[in-house]
Amino acid sequence: MRVLVVGSGGREHALAWALAKSDKVTEVLCAPGNAGMAAEFENVDISVDDHAALVELARTREVALTVIGPEAPLCDGIVDRFTEAGLRVFGPTAAAAEIEGDKAYAKRLMKIANVPTGEARIFERYEDAREYIATRDTGVVVKAAGLAAGKGVSVCADPADALLEVERMMADRVFGDAGATVVVEELLKGEELSVLALVDGQTIYVLDTAQDHKAVGDGDTGPNTGGMGAYSPAPIATPDVMAMVEREVLVPIVDALRNDHAPYRGVLYAGLMLTAAGPKVLEFNCRFGDPEIQAVLMRLDSDLYDMLSAVVDGTLADADIRWNPKPAVCVAMASGGYPGTYEKGKRIYGLTEAAAMPGVKVFHAGTAQIEDVTVTSGGRVLGVTALGDDIADAKARAYAAVDVIEFEGAFTRTDIADKAIRAADSA
């Protein structure tokens, strides 16, 4: 059977790679794809926002299943378009995707469903937001309510910094209309945990856990990015914690979406802070986390095509999902200047050497092909991912592969998975 993966990032490369391992999948199409995907699959030059052309591609090429990677087309209703055309597609409807597309909506729904989350205020007027922040004497988090490519969240330990951020979002509109409404939230303390769950409308299956590294610098310093690396599994996700997450977070929010006429079918991502009072939701996303999914899929021993088909067909309760017990670490290689401005078109060296290293898979994110040369085309360029005997071994393998890859301005965090290594050492 032929499958179509919509998107061009590291998440989509990982999904295409995992789907291609299925005995049922004979061909993988990627639209628009990237240089790494073109080396393994067939890229089709169709933008993720050209829904009509993507529907036509799936119809004419007799695609058995389309998997939508990024959040923007999901929020714009691409799944609705595919469904109306009678095509099988993995992902939530536009109504259900609002759980990510509108952070203000998500906050209101969490309150209705009694899902644990930080206290927050929602503002549609810049003056009101500024007046509120000026009364605070502790740090806050300022979030653009709309989609901002993973960059619309600013953690401000000082309220003075929050005033600057809300001005950037609401007055200067650095994120466009995404910042027309902002959520000002209490600054939660603890460790972050990423939980990805498959949902078929009724059944919820929680995938193995991961921990993302959002800040650009070592020690979780600097501005937030789309993610500088991840590892799986996360030691902090103990059985007691996961039971609480399922009971207090996933079940009530899925029920609340159904009651709000937005039944959820796809993958639901819960970004959590493990506070002293228990897990609290930082955000919900309507798609696989990036780079978390790179680490998670390295450990998947089951057929991803069967898993996603079970979600589409409403048979997730019968799915048999197995995991490799070995941990995986993903390290993002980024362009100099990211998450701010950066240059593109830098030639990438060492990809073949890295790919040949045991246990390593290099997922492309922001790459393009110019004749026979692979060059940078984005902020996060590569997700260098490795499986290891233990978490320290997985980290060592990933960074050894990073060391053989070069492009002008390349940088990484050097401490991906250190929290898990410290936890293993202390145990």
pLDDT above 80: residue 260:
yes
What pLDDT score was predicted for residue 425?
79
Q: What confidence tens digit (pLDDT) does each residue in 158-203 have?
A: 999 999 999 999 999 999 998 999 999 999 999 999 999 999 999 9
Residues 6+ apart with CB under 8 A from 382: 10, 36, 332, 333, 348, 362, 363, 364, 365, 367, 405
171 in the same domain as 143: yes
224 assigned to some structural domain:
yes
Q: What is the CATH number of the domain that holds 41?
A: 3.40.50.20
Could you give the CA distance from residue 124 to residue 145 in angstroms, rounded to a whole number?
A: 10
If one counts every other C-beta atom within 10 angstroms of the C-beta of residue 81, the result is: 17
Under the banding of pLDDT at 50, 70 and 90, the label for residue 149 is: confident
What pLDDT score was predicted for residue 101?
94
Residue where a domain terminates, one of 94, 127, 161:
94
- Which residues in 365-401 belong to E strands, given as ranges? 367-370, 373-376, 380-387
Under the banding of pLDDT at 50, 70 and 90, the label for residue 224 is: confident
Could you give the CA distance from residue 72 to residue 97 in angstroms, rounded to a whole number?
A: 9
Under the banding of pLDDT at 50, 70 and 90, the label for residue 411 is: very high
Q: Domain limits at 157?
A: 119-186
Under the banding of pLDDT at 50, 70 and 90, the label for residue 152 is: confident
252 in the same domain as 228: yes
302 in the same domain as 348: no
Mean pLDDT of the region 269-289: 95
Q: What is the CATH number of the domain that holds 235?
A: 3.30.470.20
- Mean pLDDT, the chain, rounded, equals 96
Residue where a domain terminates, one of 258, 289, 318:
318
105 assigned to some structural domain:
no
275 in the same domain as 261: yes
Question: What DSSP state is assigned to residue 167?
Answer: I
86 in the same domain as 123: no
268 in the same domain as 245: yes
108 assigned to some structural domain:
no
Place of tokens 């390290």: 331
DSSP H/E element including 89: strand 89-90
Yes or no: say if 338 and 216 are a contact pair by the CB < 8 Å rule: yes
Residue where a domain terminates, one of 53, 79, 94:
94
How far lies 235's CA from each of 192, 228, 338, in Å?
11, 19, 29
Domain count, the chain: 4
113 assigned to some structural domain:
no
212 in the same domain as 306: yes
DSSP H/E element including 65: strand 63-68
Under the banding of pLDDT at 50, 70 and 90, the label for residue 423 is: confident
Could you give the CA distance from residue 105 to residue 95 in angstroms, rounded to a whole number?
A: 11
Could you give the CA distance from residue 169 to residue 103 in angstroms, rounded to a whole number?
A: 14
What pLDDT score was predicted for residue 427?
67
Q: What confidence tens digit (pLDDT) does each residue in 28-47 have?
A: 999 999 999 999 999 999 99
Which tokens is 334 given?
A: 């980024």
Could you give the CA distance from residue 412 to residue 236 in angstroms, rounded to a whole number?
A: 24
pLDDT above 80: residue 50:
yes
Q: What is the CATH number of the domain that holds 144?
A: 3.30.1490.20
Q: Which of 293, 173, 138 is nearest to 227 (CA)?
A: 293
Q: What percent of the chain has pLDDT over 90?
A: 94
User: CA-based Rg of the chain, rounded to a whole angstrom?
Assistant: 20
Under the banding of pLDDT at 50, 70 and 90, the label for residue 380 is: very high
What angle do helix axes 126-134 and 159-166 make, rounded to 10 degrees?
Answer: 180
**Phi, then psi, of 122 in degrees rounded to 5:** -110, 130
Mean pLDDT of the region 201-217: 95
Could you give the CA distance from residue 271 to residue 285 in angstroms, rounded to a whole number?
A: 8
Q: Which of 152, 203, 180, 154 is nearest to 307 (CA)?
A: 203
104 assigned to some structural domain:
no
